[in-house]
Structure 1
């Protein structure tokens, strides 16, 4: 049986700028209807981002077999080279020559307030990819991506009989109740943080028990309070793993989902799967950016044993 995990989601560049001051000292509350300001940002860094890339990076580190199905723009060559260096397949990544790769421009001030601008670019054409062209798959995840792509890929994968994890993330507000009910009906697993899941319940009109009853597993993350997995009428409380440092939460949810997917592919029970996911999130949060933490599979196994007292 194949162990390939199809990862449908965004690929993006994050441009992160630091303003050495406070937005509140420049922005006048009574003049926000005609803002024309410029912030000097002495520091600028580019991070490789996008949910699909973050998940694939972590799954590859675990020894999994990620297959990214996504879209890059005309400026995406360096991202393809990066995947090649890590041995991550790029055969399912489509280049959209008339668009730029999705990019998030983040300006932060000294109080950690942020002003963000997001350009979706090539991500808007993710629906041009076809799951049926990907070959044999063990499991798939629908992570945040272009709206049309998320709808198409979920339907296609359900028709193919591939188990699907639905992870709407920051794209959740794009979908109404009927669309979310359809997604849940097509999915095998649903992963969301506590805020997102409250929105899912509000929009679908379904209770937590009703949603969990339609899935093999419902996963709800709660930040430093850990997470919960509801499967086959059981609730599994997953503890939060102590991080070496709390540096940057960007990509922690993606690292967590990579742990979930690895556990599913390898037939782990839900307590072990959730604990591995929790560990991956803790390892990520100690580093800046979504793809700058490094560990071998053996090092991850050792950290797991230290945290939980047994090997996965």
Structure 2
């Protein structure tokens, strides 16, 4: 089965301010704010939902196709993906733009100021969806270009290709009607518990009405695991214990990688979520979204210590 990932590719540029922002902002002058924070260097990491999901899938032995858009500065990221056997053929380069980038500054109180430049992400991926073999494909639509997030579910639905809809941080960008149009008929709608509430508020639907429009609703709950809802029947999947929580950022994308791997192995959705829990645990134990690593032997051992035989 070929896995197609619709989602963003971005650079995360992370900076640390060795003080507190509050010490340099005058409350009575907030209306004419003009500040400069001298940071302790800059750490550049590869990120974006599409890249994060593809990375962990590659560790799991898959060769997914990313449907995304990048800018004129993508060379280093392209080399990184290709190092792990991830094709860049589905990625559109917009020569007049930079690749999407998040500029994150964190102070000593863990307060953050972030600037995000969508750059090339403003443009659709332009991938020719007709090249997808409906009999051998599985798609996931994660946060990225809004047009792609609307058009790709429509194509999958019209061509009977199973897909996962994963709107994440792009939920506020859509109207309630657009959200329903996007996830209606999905094999899986996946969100965390807060995002699910946002969808219910935006669409005006009840949870039961949402469940009626998809085959499965998966709700992730962080360290509490996840819940799989199939037409009202709920099954809890435990999180996998971690040695040390270093950085939860990227755990959700890693979970989706394990989920996709499980589905490609013809696992049930519940068992596929168990693979997701293992993959998420590796991400939580490392800083960054593509910094964790494991062999399939290590992954299998960790899975079986929590859930039993992976091949049963």
- With normalisation by structure 1, the TM-score equals 0.96
CA contact (8 A) 1:247 1:285 kept: yes
User: In structure 2, what is the equivalent of residue 68 of structure 1?
Assistant: 66
1:1-312 alignment, distance < 5 Å? 3-135=1-133, 137-312=136-311
CA contact (8 A) 2:69 2:125 kept: no
Runs of 5+ consecutive residues of structure 1 not aligned to the other structure: none
Q: C-alpha separation between the residues in 2 aligned to 1:91 and 1:205? A: 39
Deviations 1:166-199 (A, max 9, x none): 0001111001111111112142210001100001
Cα RMSD (Å):
1.3
Other structure's SS at 1:65 match = coil
Other structure's SS at 1:33 match = helix
Q: CA deviation at 1:152?
A: 1.6
Other structure's SS at 1:126 match = coil
CA contact (8 A) 1:251 1:289 kept: yes
Deviations 1:182-233 (A, max 9, x none): 1121422100011000010111111112111221110001111211011244
For this pair of structures, how many residues does the alignment match?
Answer: 310
Q: C-alpha separation between the residues in 2 aligned to 1:310 and 1:157? A: 33
- With normalisation by structure 2, the TM-score equals 0.96
Q: C-alpha separation between the residues in 1 aligned to 2:67 and 2:43? A: 26
Runs of 5+ consecutive residues of structure 2 not aligned to the other structure: none
Q: C-alpha separation between the residues in 2 aligned to 1:6 and 1:280? A: 19
Q: C-alpha separation between the residues in 1 aligned to 2:296 and 2:207? A: 35
CA contact (8 A) 1:127 1:150 kept: no
